[in-house]
Amino acid sequence: MAPSSSVPARGEEMAFIAAITLKVGRDRDMLQAVNMMAEEHFELSVDQRKQLITAYRIDFSDKHKALRTISVMEQQEDDPKKIECIAWYRGVLEADMQATCSSTLDIVHNHLLPFCHDAENATLYNKMIGDTCWYLAMLKKVEDKEPFLQKALTAYETASEKAKILSPANPLRLSVHMTETAFHYDVMKWPERAYDLAKKALVEARPALVLLDEESYKESTVYVKLMVDNLEKWRTALGKDPEDTLSFKELQTASSSSTGYPCPEVPPSVPAAAPDNFINRGDWEDDVLEGLSAMEIRRRKKASMMRKGRMG
């Protein structure tokens, strides 16, 4: 099905409304706006795709954080009556997350992919399917997880295939590789495959990093850093030669200084990969789980340091 030759008027209106909702902090309204935008059936521009990512990142991060928090509360509570109340509300949160996942899959399958011809959009949409199915698997009992894990695996493989047309250093391509390899390692229990794929992605990205524009460079070096960190942890667990990942540590250092662009502290879009369950804090701490951008996190940390300095 061919994409529309021009953006429908309603699509432009919804994109503008999404921008307004973000500025005024109305996260749920933003999600509704980008969904209505997607339902107009046209190829999203780069800016519209960023709006879509932002809306879903915030929504999933909030729901994910709530589920993790209530799981911890349930484990720490001793009073049977309170445990029962917590369990009931956990069920409410899980139902809400499941409804959001179902809505997300509907939007992607029926309103985005059929009108998509852009390689970056196709990569993103398939990654969204993988992430969403991973979330759904976390909501299921052990015996019911397998179908969703297989769907996630297929979606990540498709996203990786679609990303081959992009530069090896493209931030979206690196994001897919990071998520797919984490999924292989943590969920599918394929550590060697995860290690080899992550290493291959970094080898291919190395010479292409210097060719990126500043914005893409900053984002790509985030995923380089995270993949290097993963490789180091996996190398230790697999008992591989330390020299095997040393060159990538050098790549991480070089990439943050060769053009003067500092590596952001956290990825600008979350979740790049979902943790195994809702109990763990995850790797990126509360600021990221709140759905904040890397720039906003750095601004908050700087403000905090200044306040401490004045107080001292």
- Does the structure show a pLDDT above 80 at 262? no
Q: Please give the mean pLDDT across all residues of the chain.
A: 79
Q: Could you say which DSSP state residue 220 is in?
A: H
- Does the structure show a pLDDT above 80 at 276? no
Alpha carbons 33 and 12: distance in angstroms, whole number: 11
Choice between 148 and 276, residue whose per-residue pLDDT is larger: 148
Instruction: Tell me the average pLDDT across 52-78.
Output: 88
∠ CA 130-131-136, nearest 5°, is 95
* Contacting residues for 164 by C-beta, under 8 A, at least 6 apart: none
Instruction: Assess contact for 223 and 182: CB atoms under 8 A.
Output: no
* Lowest model confidence (mean pLDDT) among 14-18, 155-159, 179-183, 240-244: 240-244
- The predicted structure's pLDDT at residue 286: 37
Alpha carbons 93 and 89: distance in angstroms, whole number: 6
Alpha carbons 13 and 36: distance in angstroms, whole number: 10
Instruction: Tell me the average pLDDT across 82-94.
Output: 92
pLDDT per position as a tens digit, 218-253: 889 888 888 888 888 898 888 877 666 546 555 554
Band (291; pLDDT cuts 50, 70, 90): very low
Domains of the chain: 8-117 (1.20.190.20), 137-312 (no CATH)
Alpha carbons 212 and 77: distance in angstroms, whole number: 51
Instruction: Tell me the average pLDDT across 82-106.
Output: 93
